[in-house]
Amino acid sequence: MKVGVATLETLHGGPPSVDLTYHLPTAKSAIVFSLPLDREIIRRYLGKESIHARAEHEVDNFETTIRCFQLATKIRKHLKNKGFEAREIFTNFNYRDFDIKGIFIPYPDISLKYLAASSGVGSFGWSGVLGIKDFGTAFMLGGLTTSAPLEPTKPIPPEENFCDKCKICVNVCAFRMFDDKEEFQVNLGEETFNYSKRNDVLRCEIVCGGYSGLDKTKKWSTWSPARYEFPKNKEETINTLAKAFRFKPNFLVEGEDGGFKKKNYLKDPDIAQFMKENPNVWRLIKSLKISCGNCQLVCRGNHEETLQNFNLLKNSGVIIRQRNGRTKILHPDEMDEADELHIPQKKTLKEWIAGILIKRALTQEKTIKFSKF
Ligand code: SF4
Ligand code: SF4
């Protein structure tokens, strides 16, 4: 869809996750590109149109991720034939730290998002997700670092930015991770970029991680049936995560398709090799079930269409787990049943200890500050 080139110079002065040499010591440039997700499938997912709508989106999402890697591999092989070194950047799931802190405040190995903003593949919307005018934010990023000294491409000029600051993305996040007023600033080379301040990344960790699904308004949910009260402050957020961790309920709605078969990743020998070298990435992928992503999926880069997506979500009902253990979609006109339905809260000793450790790790001063990774 779009391609750009970022270099050591255009990324100079940025946060640690734009350090190309961390990813490839000989790197001078990075090639970044985007591949679209299917926006009609996304509409069915947001509106919980059928019990299979999530599986349909999950297949599209994971297959697009695979295509990103395969495209990067082709470019890597081409550059190698020309005598340059190159290394694929895996879309998502690749983080620097995998200690207890790193699991919950993960810092990317290298940030495709910043590379793509710097090179004009997309521009930042209020959510901080990259987007393109008249298309929105429903695409995946892929890329690679290389020792080839390529010519950089320019960022998208402000007058071409797709975002009209409607702030719909703020309200599709069940635990409201994005501030609706304050901005966050990041410098990359000579350019300054802005997007919303994060109220707390742990809010996304809880909701996108599937540990809680009900929106603040209690009128709709993500695809997760898990339930925790909306946390009002930092302390409540940490407590919620410590309580919720490992209480992942049975995600699948009764009768739902299983979604993307993760073993499909390994059919490609280059991806299989990557997973062998990066077992943490493979572990994350294997356990992942998509239940949110709303901030990326709602925005169509056109106010009327974004509003339509928001209305689909608001009227989509909730996923609930009944006392008989069955999980189903409850439509808005049946919602009075929802009060009765909760996730069983039994804890094993191991989970109880894990909760204490998580709380301790997350309340250390240095982990509370969200850096600009
Ligand atoms: S929904 Fe899209 S257009 Fe509206 S504020 Fe968020 S990123 Fe910008
Ligand atoms: S993925 Fe979901 S939980 Fe995470 S920030 Fe986006 S809307 Fe919020």
Kindly give the distance from the C-alpha atom of residue 294 to the centroid of ligand 1, in angstroms, as a whole number: 12
pLDDT single digits (tens) 115-169: 999 999 999 999 999 999 999 999 999 999 999 999 999 999 999 999 999 999 9
In a domain, 161, yes or no: no
Rounded Cα–Cα distance for residues 164 and 293 (Å):
20
What is the extent of the structural domain holding 101?
Answer: 2-155+168-368
pLDDT at 342: 53
Closest ligand 1 atom number to CA of residue 165 = 5
- Looking at ligand 2, which residue's alpha carbon is closest to its atom 6? 295
Ligand 2 binding pocket includes 293 (Cβ within 6 Å): yes
pLDDT at 346: 59
Q: Which residues, at least 6 apart from 330, have a Cβ–Cβ distance to it below 8 Å? A: 317, 318, 319, 320, 337, 338
Rounded Cα–Cα distance for residues 172 and 115 (Å):
26
How many other C-beta atoms lie within 10 A of the C-beta of residue 347? 13
pLDDT at 71: 97
| Nearest ligand, CA 294 | 2
Q: Break the chain down into helix, strand, coil percent, rounded to 5.
A: 40, 15, 45
Kindly give the distance from the C-alpha atom of residue 278 to the centroid of ligand 1, in angstroms, as a whole number: 34
In a domain, 160, yes or no: no
Rounded Cα–Cα distance for residues 16 and 176 (Å):
26
Q: Which residue is associated with the tokens 């901080």?
A: 128
Ligand 1 binding pocket includes 133 (Cβ within 6 Å): no
Q: Is 232 exposed, middle or buried (0-12, 13-18, 19+ CB in 10 A)?
A: exposed
pLDDT at 347: 63
Q: Tokens standing for 371?
A: 């850096």
pLDDT at 373: 38
| Nearest ligand, CA 300 | 1
Number of domains in the chain: 1
In a domain, 209, yes or no: yes
Rounded Cα–Cα distance for residues 234 and 24 (Å):
36
In a domain, 362, yes or no: yes
In a domain, 373, yes or no: no
pLDDT single digits (tens) 216-250: 999 999 999 988 889 999 999 988 888 887 666 56
pTM above 0.75, yes or no: yes
| Nearest ligand, CA 309 | 1
Ligand 2 binding pocket includes 128 (Cβ within 6 Å): no
- Longest distance between any two alpha carbons in the chain, whole Å: 65
- Looking at ligand 2, which residue's alpha carbon is closest to its atom 8? 173
Rounded Cα–Cα distance for residues 179 and 167 (Å):
9
How many other C-beta atoms lie within 10 A of the C-beta of residue 233? 10
Ligand 2 binding pocket includes 204 (Cβ within 6 Å): yes
Pairing between strand 178-188 and 191-198?
antiparallel
Q: Which parts of the chain have pLDDT scores under 50?
A: 339-340, 365-373
pLDDT at 37: 98
Q: Provide the sign of the torsion angle of the four alpha carbons 92, 205, 285, 273, taken in this order.
A: positive
- Looking at ligand 1, which residue's alpha carbon is closest to its atom 4? 166
Kindly give the distance from the C-alpha atom of residue 233 to the centroid of ligand 2, in angstroms, as a whole number: 17
pLDDT at 263: 86
pLDDT at 348: 67
Q: Using alpha carbons only, what angle is made at residue 21 by residues 20 and 24, rounded to the nearest 5 degrees?
A: 95
Ligand 2 binding pocket includes 18 (Cβ within 6 Å): no
